């Protein structure tokens, strides 16, 4: 049963793109379509279907994209694919170098730096100890404990992966709520608070979650610095968290008024532990002060990796803990976007729909809502991989209404929207983790996650309206 | 249907019923099965294999008509499919020799003498199941409530980077 469903979705995923390849290029309603562009459409459709239906892991799809691109549309691809057909010109083949370069994109290094910080922090228990110390001032009153949990989860997910943060926070909260009776509302609220805060917190920094970095990839070099992103992201996150806090208190009133968390823990004092503390602090500081020293976020990101591997903080085993699946997922998206962009297909697609007659607002809202909907049902990163190249192309066709161009706003809105999708256990890894504890049900996520997400969309539009 | 099964074997129906009552709350996370003889237990094991379920823990009496409990545990311990399962002896009549055999060759994890206390039995079973889950399962979160939450969460925490 399970296998056959997988088989059916695999067949769908591959037959539709094959069908697209089979139809003559003239029949596709895009002007002067080349063979290369035609094939890229098929690859894009394949990627979209594989990412949506997920018959294979999302990172496998990414690797497939890169493979198909170098074989089918690159200058060192299969001979069979490098000739004009009788009726259609081949178009310009992509350089295989630049397709492979998607895995060494600055974005990938940025994430590696982030992973290095997270691995080092967790190896030396910096994350847990810091979380415990920061939780102490929130006392024992259940509402404030929840507020503390949410704020700390959000702050950590700005610099570590949302998933790792959720695991850490659930591990702190878990033993206490595990004693609560089944269906206890207060316990539900607390457990829900963590994935919501983790999903939300990721929005605040470029390295908080992959969709943000993907947005940066499509922006002109230096258009948004780390600090500039945070100046928009942080207030947004704070408002969202406040709303979520009140919402959870209202939806899940606790019977118990106090919640004694166990918060002992001592910071390690070994030289290596100090290397971790200092590097962590300095890296974040460097990220925030690009104007002072000129190094952008990507360049800064490789510094902790160098420091940690040199000092033995991250050894050979630890290096394997880097989330290679996330890196490949992002790289596949970059390769996809690069192909759409360099082949001229993205602009062709964007201009074939008459955006000029649509109001800018309609464009922004339709892109962000599409993104939000997709992110609820599939990987946020895969969503961003699919929507971002299209949004970037669309942005170039929009009438420029503000100085600096609408592209920055549009791509940031799309990135934010993809992090707001959290109504189901499958929406994000933090949701799935919280769901697997058995404390919360799908309907809890639907309700709380739904309200927070929709409110977030509204807040985005309001922010755009007021400030841009 | 749950992924893992708890199997209780005792020839006396009343003992079996009372053990099942003591372990009632584990029913959310595990399938709890009861057999009145080793023969019946083997049938249940065959059925489990068909359903692709795994034995997590067996709680077994010793003195039973037909195959005796310790011999059954030794047999299970030699089978790769059941080696990982936690093995408890719940008995009043296992002699020194049988007990030594169970420890040395039956992979015995725990010995409870009859008569037993319901809450103590539950606590020991929970502890053994927690160990089993930590050794054999990757989705720990699911088992945190119902078993030793503190131990499970600290394992989740220790494994957090490899997620």
Contact B157 A168 (CB under 8 A): yes
Neighbouring C-alpha atoms within 13 Å toward the C-beta of A147: 14
Instruction: Name, in order, each residue with C-beta under 8 angstroms of A415's C-beta and a sequence gap of 6 or more.
Output: A203, A211, A212, A214, A215, A384, A388
User: Would you state the pLDDT for residue A315?
Assistant: 93
Contact A164 B156 (CB under 8 A): no
**Mean per-residue pLDDT for A376-385?**
92
User: Would you state the pLDDT for residue A403?
Assistant: 44
Residues 116-155, chain B, touching A (beta carbon < 8 A): 139, 141-142, 144-145, 149-150, 152-154
Contact call for residues A213 and A110 (beta carbons, < 8 A):
yes
Query: What's the mean pLDDT when you consider all of chain A?
Result: 89
User: Would you state the pLDDT for residue A399?
Assistant: 65
Q: With H, G, I as helix, E, B as strand and everything else as coil, classify residue B106.
A: coil
Residues of chain B neighbouring A164 (CB-CB closer than 8 A): 160-161, 163
Q: With H, G, I as helix, E, B as strand and everything else as coil, classify residue A405.
A: coil
Q: Which residue of A has its CA nearest to B28?
A: A438
User: Would you state the pLDDT for residue A10?
Assistant: 92
* Residue A180 scores a pLDDT above 80: no
Residue B148 lies in a domain: no
Nearest residue to A241 via CA among A166, A371, A169, A146: A146
Compute CA distances A240 → A74, A189, A193, A211, whole Å: 45, 16, 12, 18
User: Would you state the pLDDT for residue A234?
Assistant: 96
User: Would you state the pLDDT for residue A2?
Assistant: 58
Contact B161 A178 (CB under 8 A): no
b/e sequence A45-55, b meaning 16+ C-beta within 10 Å: bbbbbbbbbbb
Q: What are phi and psi of A257, to 5 degrees?
A: -95, -15
User: Would you state the pLDDT for residue A3?
Assistant: 66
Two tokens, residue A309: 């591997």
Q: How far apart are the first and last CA of chain B?
A: 26
Least confident of A121-125, A146-150, A183-187: A183-187
User: Would you state the pLDDT for residue A404?
Assistant: 46
User: Would you state the pLDDT for residue A456?
Assistant: 96
Residue B130 lies in a domain: no
Q: What does A92-148 look like in DSSP terms, one character per residue? A: PPBPHHHHHGGGGSHHHHHHHHHHHHHHHHHHTTHHHHHHHHHHGGG-SBHHHHHHH
Contact A438 B163 (CB under 8 A): no
Say whether residue A437 is in contact with chain B using an 8 A CB cutoff. Answer: yes
Instruction: Name, in order, each residue with C-beta under 8 angstroms of A438's C-beta and a sequence gap of 6 or more.
Output: B141, B142, B144, B145
Residue B129 lies in a domain: no
Return the percentage of chain A with pLDDT > 90, whole number: 57
**Mean per-residue pLDDT for B5-20?**
93
Residues 107-126, chain A, touching B (beta carbon < 8 A): 118-119, 122-123
pTM, full prediction: 0.84
Beta strands in B24-94 (DSSP E): 31-35, 54-60, 86-91
Contact call for residues A339 and A69 (beta carbons, < 8 A):
yes
Residue B125 lies in a domain: no
Q: In angstroms, what separates the C-alpha of B14 from chain A's closest C-alpha? A: 30
Q: In angstroms, what separates the C-alpha of B33 from chain A's closest C-alpha? A: 23
| Count of the separate structural domains present in chain B | 1
* Residue B94 scores a pLDDT above 70: yes
Residues of chain A neighbouring B156 (CB-CB closer than 8 A): 167, 170-171, 174
Instruction: Name, in order, each residue with C-beta under 8 angstroms of B29's C-beta and a sequence gap of 6 or more.
Output: B2, B4, B142, B143, B146, B147
Residue B92 lies in a domain: yes
Residue that the structure tokens 């890196």 belong to? A327
Nearest residue to A297 via CA among A308, A284, A306, A309: A284
Query: What's the mean pLDDT when you consider all of chain B?
Result: 90
User: Would you state the pLDDT for residue A193?
Assistant: 96
Residue B27 lies in a domain: yes
CA distance linking residue A286 with residue A292, whole number of Å = 9
Two tokens, residue B161: 């980077």
* Residue A351 scores a pLDDT above 80: no
Residue that the structure tokens 């982030």 belong to? A114
Residue B136 lies in a domain: no
User: Would you state the pLDDT for residue A356?
Assistant: 61
CA distance linking residue A55 with residue A5, whole number of Å = 9
Q: Which of B141, B149, B160 sits opposite A164 (nearest CB)?
A: B160
User: Would you state the pLDDT for residue A362?
Assistant: 85
User: Would you state the pLDDT for residue A18?
Assistant: 94
**Mean per-residue pLDDT for A49-62?**
92
CA distance linking residue A63 with residue A53, whole number of Å = 17
CATH number at residue B110: 3.40.50.2300
Compute CA distances A284 → A84, A237, A238, A327, A401, whole Å: 51, 18, 19, 21, 34
Neighbouring C-alpha atoms within 13 Å toward the C-beta of A201: 25
Contact A164 B144 (CB under 8 A): no
Say whether residue A270 is in contact with chain B using an 8 A CB cutoff. Answer: no
List pLDDT tens digits, range B20-71.
Answer: 999 988 988 999 999 999 999 999 999 999 999 999 999 999 988 888 889 9
Contact A170 B154 (CB under 8 A): no
* Residue A182 scores a pLDDT above 80: no
Of A189 and A351, more confident: A189
Q: Work out the angle between the directed axes of helices A429-436 and A162-177 (0-180°, nearest 10).
A: 20
Contact B163 A437 (CB under 8 A): no
List pLDDT tens digits, range A263-311.
Answer: 787 888 899 999 999 999 999 999 999 889 999 899 999 999 999 999 9
* Residue A59 scores a pLDDT above 50: yes
**Mean per-residue pLDDT for A80-102?**
86
Contact call for residues A212 and A203 (beta carbons, < 8 A):
yes
List pLDDT tens digits, range A190-235.
Answer: 999 999 999 999 999 999 999 999 999 898 887 889 999 999 999 9
Residue B128 lies in a domain: no
List pLDDT tens digits, range B128-139.
Answer: 999 999 999 988
Chain centre to alpha carbon of residue B136: 14
List pLDDT tens digits, range B144-162.
Answer: 878 888 888 888 877 776 6
Q: Which of B152, B154, B161 sits opposite A119 (nearest CB)?
A: B161
Least confident of A108-112, A182-186, A377-381: A182-186
Residue that the structure tokens 């800064």 belong to? A300
Cis peptide bond N-terminal to B115, omega within 30: yes
CA distance linking residue A178 with residue A216, whole number of Å = 41
CA distance linking residue A125 with residue A267, whole number of Å = 8
**Mean per-residue pLDDT for A75-88?**
83
CA distance linking residue B1 with residue A420, whole number of Å = 34
What domain range is B22 assigned to?
4-117
């Amino acid at each position: 049963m399970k296998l056959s469903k997988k088989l059916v979705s695999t067949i769908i995923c591959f037959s539709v793109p094959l069908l697209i390849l089979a139809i003559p290029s003239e029949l596709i309603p895009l002007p002067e379509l080349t063979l290369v562009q035609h094939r890229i459409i098929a690859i894009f459709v394949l990627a979209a279907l594989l990412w949506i239906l997920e018959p294979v892991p999302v990172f496998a799809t990414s690797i497939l994209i890169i493979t198909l691109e170098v074989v089918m549309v690159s200058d060192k691809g299969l001979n069979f694919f490098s000739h004009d057909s009788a009726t259609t010109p081949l178009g310009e083949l992509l350089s295989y170098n630049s397709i492979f370069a998607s895995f060494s994109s600055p974005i990938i290094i940025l994430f590696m730096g982030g992973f290095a910080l997270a691995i080092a922090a967790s190896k030396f228990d910096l994350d847990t100890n810091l979380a415990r110390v920061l939780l102490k001032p929130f006392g024992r009153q259940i509402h404030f404990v929840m507020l503390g949990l949410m704020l700390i989860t959000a702050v950590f997910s700005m610099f570590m992966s949302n998933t790792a943060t959720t695991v850490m926070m659930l591990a702190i909260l878990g033993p206490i709520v595990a004693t609560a009776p089944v269906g206890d509302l207060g316990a539900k609220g607390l457990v829900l608070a963590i994935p919501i805060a983790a999903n939300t917190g990721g929005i605040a920094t470029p390295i908080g979650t992959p969709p943000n970095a993907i947005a940066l990839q499509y922006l002109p070099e230096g258009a948004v610095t780390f600090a500039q992103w945070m100046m928009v992201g942080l207030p947004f996150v704070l408002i969202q968290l406040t709303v979520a806090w009140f919402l959870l208190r209202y939806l899940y009133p606790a019977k118990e008024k106090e919640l004694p968390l166990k918060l002992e823990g001592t910071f390690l004092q070994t030289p290596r532990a100090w290397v971790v503390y200092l590097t962590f602090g300095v890296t974040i500081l460097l990220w925030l002060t690009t104007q002072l020293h000129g190094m952008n976020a990507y360049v800064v990101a490789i510094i902790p990796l160098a420091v940690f591997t040199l000092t033995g903080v991250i050894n050979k085993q630890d290096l394997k803990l880097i989330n290679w699946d996330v890196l490949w997922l992002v790289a596949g998206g970059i390769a996809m976007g690069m192909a759409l962009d360099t082949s001229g297909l993205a602009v062709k697609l964007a201009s074939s729909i008459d955006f000029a007659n649509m109001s800018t607002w309609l464009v922004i809202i339709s892109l962000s809502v599409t993104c939000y909907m997709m992110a609820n049902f599939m990987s946020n990163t895969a969503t961003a991989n699919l929507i971002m190249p299209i949004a970037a192309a669309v942005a170039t066709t929009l009438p420029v209404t503000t100085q600096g161009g609408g592209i920055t706003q549009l791509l940031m809105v799309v990135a934010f929207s993809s992090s707001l999708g959290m109504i189901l256990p499958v929406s994000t890894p933090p949701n799935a983790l919280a769901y697997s504890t058995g404390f919360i049900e799908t309907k809890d996520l639907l309700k709380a996650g739904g309200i927070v997400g929709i409110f977030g969309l509204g807040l985005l539009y309001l922010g755009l309206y007021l400030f841009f | 249907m749950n992924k893992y099964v708890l199997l209780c074997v005792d020839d006396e129906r009343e003992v079996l019923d009372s053990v099942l009552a003591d372990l009632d709350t584990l029913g959310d996370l595990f399938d709890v099965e009861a057999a009145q003889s080793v023969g019946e237990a083997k049938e249940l094991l065959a059925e489990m294999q068909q359903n692709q379920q795994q034995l997590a823990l067996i709680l077994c009496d010793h003195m039973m008509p037909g195959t005796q409990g310790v011999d059954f545990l030794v047999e299970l311990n030699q089978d790769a499919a059941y080696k990982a399962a936690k093995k408890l002896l719940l008995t009043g009549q296992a002699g020194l020799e049988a007990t030594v055999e169970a420890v040395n060759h039956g992979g015995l994890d725990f010995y409870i003498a009859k008569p037993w206390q319901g809450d103590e039995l539950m606590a020991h079973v929970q502890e053994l199941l927690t160990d089993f889950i930590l050794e054999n399962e990757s989705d720990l979160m699911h088992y945190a409530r119902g078993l030793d939450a503190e131990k499970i969460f600290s394992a989740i925490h220790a494994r957090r980077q490899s997620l």
